[in-house]
Amino acid sequence: MSGAGGSERPEQRPERRPRVFPPIPALGQDGVLQALVLGEGQCSDPGISEEQLRAQEEWEALEEIQSGLGGTSPVPPPPISFAEALQHFQSSGLSQSRRKVRGPGCRGGLSVLLRCLGGPPRLRPQLRGERELVLAMAQCALDDSEWVHMRILQTIYRQLTRSRRGCPRYGTHWEELGFQGVDPGTDLRGTGMLGLMQILFFVLDSRTLSLAREIFQLSQHETQNFPFCIMSVNITRIVIQALREERLSRECNRRQQVIGVLNDLYAAAFLQLFRLWKRQCGTVADAGSFLKELELSTKKKPRQLLRSLEAYVSHSLRPFSPPSSSSQIHFTGICDPVVELEGDSRLI
């Protein structure tokens, strides 16, 4: 997408090299994720005054915002709530994506076989429309011409970075959030807009915002770093597969909702991965094996994962009570064992 006046996308500028992350599922014990971030070289012209240089930098920043937001206004788009974004997808129809969901072979033979063998129950008829919407969002690609899509992207950026300003649509700032390149859309092929919607939920919900930022902080660690958004997309892929295989039908029927269950399971899975990463001092070379274990837990013990999230939220929302003078405060390192919360058993 080009901005006003045919301005080029930021990734076409030769002075910055993209930071590349290999796909997480392909990483095993021998895989190594190497990322090299090169700063832009600065060359000052002795014929340009400091005032002119500042003006030029401000103008370039304005051009970046204009090209990144797909318009001519330097004002970043307003943040969007999860409810507003969801309402957009509910009202937009997503007819093309829904046709893919309804196409032959979408349910697969595994769910049918599991039901025949006394496996999980089928989703109640009144919830199948919500399930179809979820799977349609997973088929919907990020579209630069959709204003709501751009607001979702910008809200995620501002929530994770705590920035009040918008950012260009394309650029290496997305790599810092844990995408593989300068365009987040290329990493959403398996999860579509549902991948962004689940991140949006994670960074906006008052119960999970602090957890999301804590995980994001760990993803920036010197030795235990990992691509946050790529990991998130892989977790979305896992919960989508669990939904398709009817692994979540019992819980969805119990709560009479699909999207709420899917979002909570996503957050619970991310919490479990976060704890595992800290316990075992994980590095990106462990990501593949960790995700395989997490996928097994998500499909076989979704209710246990949800209870773990409930315990975490209940504990984190307790009012703070300062320690007594006789209490000894112990500071743990990032690789120190984590005390299990009540009702949170080792799942993987």
Helices 302-316, 209-219: crossing angle, 10 deg rounding? 100
- The DSSP 8-state label assigned to residue 5 in this structure reads G
What pLDDT does residue 311 have?
A: 94
Locus of tokens 């394309």: 170
Q: Is the pLDDT of residue 173 over 90?
A: yes
Nearby residues of 264 by Cβ (< 8 Å), 6 or more positions away: 306, 309
* Tens digit of each residue's pLDDT (9 = 90 or more) over 233-249: 999 999 999 999 999 99
* Tens digit of each residue's pLDDT (9 = 90 or more) over 68-120: 444 434 467 889 999 999 999 999 877 677 767 765 444 555 555 555 565 67
What pLDDT does residue 165 have?
A: 84
* Tens digit of each residue's pLDDT (9 = 90 or more) over 257-286: 999 999 999 999 999 999 999 999 988 888
- CA dist 152 and 165 (Å) reads 14
Residue type, 280: Q
Locus of tokens 């751009």: 150
Assessment of whether the complete model's pTM goes beyond 0.85 = no
Residue 143 CB neighbour total at 10 angstroms = 13
Secondary structure element (H or E) that encloses residue 193, with its range: helix 192-204
What pLDDT does residue 190 have?
A: 86
Q: Is the pLDDT of residue 16 over 70?
A: no
Mean pLDDT, rounded, for 45-74: 47
Residue type, 246: E
Copy the structure tokens of residue 110.
Answer: 């595994």
The string of DSSP codes covering 250-306 is: HHHHHHT-SHHHHHHHHHHHHHHHHHHHHHTT--GGGHHHHHHHHHHHHHH-HHHHH
Mean pLDDT, rounded, for 332-342: 39
- Rounded to a whole number, what is the distance in angstroms from the first to the last CA of the chain? 43
* Tens digit of each residue's pLDDT (9 = 90 or more) over 291-318: 999 999 999 999 999 999 999 998 877 6
- CA dist 52 and 150 (Å) reads 32
Better pLDDT: 49 or 32: 49
- CA dist 13 and 28 (Å) reads 34
